[in-house]
Amino acid sequence: MKTLSLVLIVLEFLAADILASEPLAMPRALDLPGLHAYAEKVVTAGQTLHFRTSSTVPYELSICRLGPKVDDPSGDEVLETLVNSKPIQQPIHPGSFIHVDKGLPADQPLGALSIQCWVRPWRLNAPQTLISQYNGPAACGYRLHLDDRGRVQFYLGDGGPRRADGELAGTALSHRQWHHIVGVWDGKLQSLWINGKKAAGQAFPGPVRAGSAPLRLGACAQEGSVDSLFDGDLAMPVMYAKALSPDEIHARYQQRGLEPAAGSGVLACWPLDEERGDRVSDCSPHGRHGRIINEATWMIGGPSFDGGKVPRFSDYDPAQDPKRGHGLRLASDDLYDCRWQVTEEFRIPETAKPGFYVGRFRYDLDGSPRLYHATFVVRKPKDRPKAPILVLAATGTWGAYSATSFPLTPPGLHHNWGTGGIANCPGNPPAYCMYRDHHAGQPAYKIGLRKPWPNAGPYVLYSEESVGYSHLMRAERFLLVWLEQSGCDYDMIDDLDLHRDPGLLDGYPAVVINGHSEYWSAEAFDAVDRYLCRGGNVIVLSGNTIFWRVSYNEEGTIMECRKQGGLPGGRPGCTVGELWHSQDRRRGSLARECGLPAWKLVGLETLGFWGATANTVYEVQEPDHFLFQKPEPVGLAKGDAFGGAQGGGFPKAVGHEPDVRLSLLRQLTDDVPPGAGLPEEPSGILTLAAGRQPQATALDYFVRPARLADGVACHMIYWERPQGGRVFHAGSVGAGWGLSADPKFQTLLRNVLFHFGVKPAKP
């Protein structure tokens, strides 16, 4: 056991020094009570792991490899324990905006000024800034903004203390509709124009100076802290050193944001046509280029574009649409990197076994003991001999469900963690994921990996504790425990590893896709297809497999996923026209509609869903198949049940999101939408077993409600792919859970491994 007080004191001074030298002002700090932490999501044995912890209470940190007792920490291997008696509270700074280094000159009087932009507000009940050089109350130059009733405001000042006579109020905007806004000053008169029409005017003789505050789009500052962040979409912001005439304003309105401003009077024009990255270019000669803080969202189109009119099944290409335009979506809770300082370090031993590890924090809060877990995966160095099995950790799914990254962890070991998360921390920090929108309703399209993900903890459930069902990290633990008990060595990688390096699969007799492997990149899909085509073997103990397409930025720190509104799990505000990713410009949403159908790779597709308490078991269809007979007879006859606990209780393997053959989805599909096609099932697939759940929420191939004829809602298959490779697919998120309780299912899996070139020891 080690004490970190001295280390943390040094880190405290370093953090203060770094913050003092921060070149850009960040959004207002939000302090988090309790304890929150994250580290690298994946680390190679022999490398150093860095914990970034924010805590208001002392704590003890143990680095542990999770052991053979899925629900008992006492069986874990403790590598190191560190004691911290002097914690550091590290704030977060949520909110996106654009910082422009080169603002208008601070002290130079302006003879005239016009500020123009298109905006689509996502909220209208809080003050929000559109364009400003404004740091209230002492350095107030100019500001185009909205008040707490959604009314447009245009402020002009002399760069000093705020002047009440410089504020001009216009009319209120409409929620989630594009508006063209222009603030004009001709040296004597100040006016506001909305959608080409004058909304307000007053005399204002000046003087007008920009003042010392930085130029920002989507924010201003109050007492030096960036504030009044805009929740909405911004398009074609322009600044002019002249007063636009009514005819010019009307002409700009008619252009619908498709034409950049030009001419000698343009002080800055940002077309926002980059559609990726954090740089925003000024197309004027003045070089007022901007930098996006906290990411924001590209690829949403501009005021000339209606994404809801793009057909779902078509060959639409955003790059070929001259009327699409460009916009940037800002959110006051955008946060993809906490930017916390390292508080603890630990070098993972070179001999550490691959698997699931945690940083286990023990602390007291409000008079009760708490446990907090920062989960990470340890992989084997590339130069070490390969194990017979490579297991894929579904970290993309863990991230996709990370709605409440900053909760106050409840007491107790197990926590029932719903799709929308658990109770958020005081202060309402960012709480969005692929299943929960931003605070103002913007659909969430990205997840940052440099943030906590306590939902990926080892004791997180997706049911009541009496049921004991889970679908994230804990769901994957059952297979790993069984492999170790069976004497099977395995290596591990995660979704991002597979995305980055398809060669990682080479040389493994068997690859296992485990748990709830729902979120896949095109690169990962192609990597597994390549492996299979070369004669590889894939075991799928997953359900809802390969359902949504994702992409990653070059640094591997942000995962992007765009889920069409109206689909189960889709985001209500996401139109078809917004499905194209900013990271790779490829269409997103359902993998099967992005040229990545799960059936083509592993033989099955998602059917639908049901609650965990309705989980069921498999019924044998082909008892004479060699996988049921060799090298060990499983001892099951046709129609026999398996995959559950003895006596009929939990665990039960089939559910809560099952996969089925394409032939069943074809039967459920009554008609094919315009522009779509219904594929034929590939040859060679054999159903070994099926699971029945007549009450399932079944969906056809185009994800529309359907009714099951005979109650079959899950398939277990063996497939010798015509293009190469063999697949055993159990078709259920709960497969590993059921495996843990049923010796017959365990025998079947030993047979699968044997025929795939792996020889587990018989218990």
All structural domains of the chain, each given as residue ranges with its CATH number in brackets, are 2-91+341-347 (no CATH), 97-330 (2.60.120.200), 355-380+389-755 (no CATH)
- Are 382 and 425 in contact by the 8 Å Cβ rule? The answer is no
CA distance 659 to 233: 38
Average pLDDT, the chain: 95
State residue 759's pLDDT score: 85
pLDDT class for 761, splitting at 50, 70, 90? confident
In 523-658 the beta strands, taken as DSSP E runs, fall at: 537-542, 548-552, 558-560, 589-590, 604-606, 608-609, 618-620, 641-642
Whether residue 13 is predicted with pLDDT greater than 50 in this model: the reply is no
CA distance 274 to 254: 23
Measuring CA to CA, which residue among 746, 713, 719, 743 is closest to residue 731? Answer: 713
State residue 643's pLDDT score: 98
Name the maximum alpha-carbon separation found in the chain. 94
Mapped onto helix, strand or coil, the DSSP state of residue 377 is strand
Lowest mean per-residue pLDDT among 4-8, 42-46, 225-229: 4-8
Give the length of the chain: 763
Whether residue 448 is predicted with pLDDT greater than 80 in this model: the reply is yes
- Are 31 and 91 in contact by the 8 Å Cβ rule? The answer is yes
Distances (CA, A) of 186 to 130, 132, 156, 207, 274: 21, 18, 12, 11, 32
pLDDT class for 23, splitting at 50, 70, 90? low
Whether residue 731 is predicted with pLDDT greater than 80 in this model: the reply is yes
CA distance 120 to 317: 23
pLDDT class for 11, splitting at 50, 70, 90? very low
Q: How far is CA 599 from the centre of its chain?
A: 24
Measuring CA to CA, which residue among 76, 102, 51, 557 is closest to residue 348? Answer: 51
pLDDT class for 24, splitting at 50, 70, 90? confident
Looking at the DSSP bridge assignments, the partners of residue 364 are 369
Segment 722-731 mean pLDDT: 98
State residue 732's pLDDT score: 98
pLDDT class for 395, splitting at 50, 70, 90? very high
Measuring CA to CA, which residue among 451, 214, 421 is closest to residue 339? Answer: 451
692 φ, ψ (degrees, to nearest 5): -110, 135
State residue 25's pLDDT score: 83
b/e 658-671 (16+ beta carbons within 10 angstroms → b): bbbbbebbeebbee
Query: At residue 167, what is the residue type?
Result: E
Helices (H) and strands (E) in the chain, counts: 11, 47
Residues 6+ apart with CB under 8 A from 537: 509, 510, 511, 725, 726, 727, 728, 756, 757
User: Which string of DSSP letters, residue by residue, matches 134-172?
Assistant: EEETTEEEEEEEE-TTSEEEEEE--SSS--GGGEEEEEE
CA distance 396 to 328: 25
Residues 6+ apart with CB under 8 A from 200: 154, 168, 169, 170, 171, 191, 192
Tokens of 579: 């499905």
Tokens of 209: 């100076």
190 φ, ψ (degrees, to nearest 5): -115, 130
Whether residue 289 is predicted with pLDDT greater than 50 in this model: the reply is yes
CA distance 391 to 517: 12
Strands 368-379 and 42-44: parallel
List pLDDT tens digits, range 414-425.
999 999 999 999
Whether residue 6 is predicted with pLDDT greater than 60 in this model: the reply is no
Tokens of 439: 């605070």
State residue 22's pLDDT score: 40
Whether residue 10 is predicted with pLDDT greater than 80 in this model: the reply is no
Measuring CA to CA, which residue among 601, 583, 138, 7 is closest to residue 591? Answer: 601
55 φ, ψ (degrees, to nearest 5): -150, 145
This prediction has a pTM of 0.95
Task: Supply angle C-alpha 340, 344, 349, rounded to 5.
Answer: 130
Task: Supply angle C-alpha 360, 426, 294, rounded to 5.
Answer: 80
State residue 298's pLDDT score: 98
Whether residue 1 is predicted with pLDDT greater than 70 in this model: the reply is no
State residue 3's pLDDT score: 43
List pLDDT tens digits, range 564-598.
999 999 999 999 999 999 999 999 999 999 999 99
CA distance 516 to 396: 10
State residue 760's pLDDT score: 76
Segment 550-560 mean pLDDT: 97
pLDDT class for 18, splitting at 50, 70, 90? very low
HSE of 261, CA atoms in CB hemisphere, 13 A: 28
pLDDT class for 2, splitting at 50, 70, 90? low
732 φ, ψ (degrees, to nearest 5): -155, 140
List pLDDT tens digits, range 120-178.
999 999 999 999 999 999 999 999 999 999 999 999 999 999 999 999 999 999 999 99
Segment 501-525 mean pLDDT: 98
Element (H or E) spanning 666, and its range?
Answer: helix 662-668
CA distance 581 to 735: 32
State residue 763's pLDDT score: 58
